[in-house]
A and B are shown apart, each in its own frame.
Chain A
Amino acid sequence: AVVSTQSTGEHVRCSDKIVELGEYALAHYSSNLGNEKWAVYEQLCVAALDLCPVKMKVVNRCIQKLAEQFPSSLRVSMLEGLKSEYLKKWDEALEMYNGMIEYEPTFPAPYKRKVAIYKAQGKVSDAVSELNRYLTTFSCDHESWLELADLYIGQQSYKQALFCVEELLLQHPHNHLFHQRYADILHTLGGKENLEASCKYYCRAAELNSSNVRALYGVLMSSSTLASIGKISAKAKSDNLTLAAWACDMIEEFYKSQRVGKSVILETASVLDKLSLK
């Protein structure tokens, strides 16, 4: 269950707030909600599962109400599956999801729950296989590409993680976060060619969004590391040093533009000096 925050526009998982607001809304505004109340029951159920065992009664009530209103609904079956997952009845949940996939192979949710179950069981390679299989059919699901990249990163399979982010870059070439992600993995892999590539991708990310401070730090880190490698030409060294200095200026300006405290600016300036020397 997610709710948007106003300040950063970031989706966060605030299950306790959702349960509080959802229960209140259903108790006091049920008629005002009209047909929207079923969506509220669904979201409330998922949030309440996060707060089990305390909120198990809420989960059961939501499932009951939804099942009465929508008999033989796949979405209601998903909630039953989630409840089985909470109770760690993995086989029961898997059977339910496999049944749903057979009945309606174009419904994405059960595939992803299977991946979640394998993750919870510690069966990372099964999770990876299942997610790969899912993505051959649902290749536009960018969250799943990110999830697969995360799974590969967790196993230090950085090259496979790069492949996943490449898919994202093909589909979303103007998304600065994906360029930055790609650069992060390249930087983690290390080595001269990867660092050079990571520097380019960090630059592209910063170009697409000059407020992406991670991209700016990334430019600084990759260019200053490259400048300190012995086997590069004098021109390459000079170019990298210039780039590192540019990144430092951009970061300092950015912090100043955000009106952070003076002590933070001073500390940041000192940090940037240290990072450029490394």
Chain B
Amino acid sequence: MSEVQLSLRSYAKILSHVVQYPYTAVNGVLLTPASPERKEGDGNLRRKEGNERVEVVDAVPLFHYNISLSPMLTVALTQIEEYAINRGLRICGYYHANEFHSDNDIGFVAARIADRIAENCEEGACLLLVNNEKLDHIATELPFKVFFPVRSTDRIDWKEGEEPILQYGERGLTLGPEIMKTQLYQSVVDMDSHYDDVRCHWDNAALNEVVTLFTESIPDLEEVEE
């Protein structure tokens, strides 16, 4: 059974993005380390799905406005791909938060973008849907549903999987309330912010630094068991 592990860095960005724009849908992409053995032009792209862990090390928030209109999505994905390649990463998934509190299903727009991202994934892909109703309980659980692609000849169906695991488990969960309390979410930059002002960069370096400091402050740090 496939599962998703979220790094604190990626969780911080997704949560900040959702909370910063609570009155609209938001979305973004998930990044994972690129496999070193996979070379470009390898015609034998075997999709090893069904029994793997997708390690989400980072996330890039995309839009909070004009979510479903096409040209900027292509531009943004190309920019993020370039950014990822230069850092030994690749796009491995998509996250989406619907506009309404009670709407926690994959809609047409989310499915279409997730399909597109899955089609470009060498191996494995996942869709992280924010469960808006769980945003009140981030002190005790992650507010996400995870879906994995089931591919047939002409379509992709997204089947719900196990809930994701957060890096550092329960201690990692304290990051959520910390972000809320310190209003750190206000510094999140997405691609929309970048196109409004190109000096803002979607790598969210400021958020990264805070997450690093937070991680260093966790006592008796150990990785979640494999």
Contacts and interface: CB of A to CB of B under 8 A. Distances in A.
Interface string B75-118: 10011001100100000000000001011000011000000000
A8 B198 CA distance: 12
A153 B67 CA distance: 10
Given A187-B70, A187-B71, A260 B199 contact: yes
Contact of A184 (B69, B78, B79, B199): B69
Interface string A255-267: 1001111001001
Interface residues of A, dominant DSSP: helix
Contacts of A278: 74
A185 B69 contact: yes
A271 interface: yes
B71 A218 contact: yes
B198 A258 contact: yes
A184 B72 contact: yes
B69 A188 contact: yes
Interface in A155-192: 156, 181, 184-185, 187-188, 190
B69 A274 contact: no
B68 A274 contact: no
A116 B83 CA distance: 39
Given A184-B66, A213-B195, A214-B195, A275 B74 contact: yes
Given A10-B196, A122-B103, A153-B68, 7 more contacts: A50-B22, A122-B100, A122-B102, A214-B195, A217-B195, A268-B79, A274-B78
Given A10-B196, A258-B198, A275 B78 contact: yes
B82 A270 contact: yes
Q: Which of A221, A258, A259 lies at the interface centre, i.e. has the most chain B CB atoms within 10 A of its CB?
A: A221
A217 B71 contact: yes
A258 B199 contact: yes
B134 interface: no
Contacts of B195: 213-214, 217
Interface residues of B, number: 27
Interface string B34-74: 00000000000000000000000000000000101111101
A255 B198 contact: yes
Contact of A260 (B75, B78, B100, B198): B198
B108 A184 contact: no
Contacts of B198: 213, 254-255, 258, 260, 264
18 contacts: A7-B197, A8-B197, A50-B22, A119-B100, A122-B102, A122-B103, A181-B66, A184-B69, A184-B70, A184-B72, A185-B69, A213-B198, A217-B75, A221-B71, A261-B201, A264-B198, A264-B201, A268-B79
Contacts of A8: 196-197
Given A213-B198, A275-B74, A267 B79 contact: yes
B119 to A, nearest CB: 15
Contacts of A213: 195, 198
Contacts of B75: 217, 221, 271, 275
A271 B78 CA distance: 6
Given A184-B66, A184-B69, A221 B74 contact: yes
A234 B100 CA distance: 49
Contacts of B70: 184, 187-188, 190
B7 to A, nearest CB: 23
B23 interface: yes
A271 B79 contact: yes
Interface string A181-209: 10011011010000000000000000000
Contacts of A259: 199
A213 B23 CA distance: 25
Contacts of B68: 153-154, 188
A221 B183 CA distance: 37
Contact of B86 (A122, A181, A258, A267): A267
Contacts of B78: 271, 274-275
Contacts of A264: 198, 201
B190 to A, nearest CB: 14
A14 B86 CA distance: 36
Nearest to A218: B71
A133 interface: no
A77 interface: no
A61 interface: no
Nearest to A202: B71
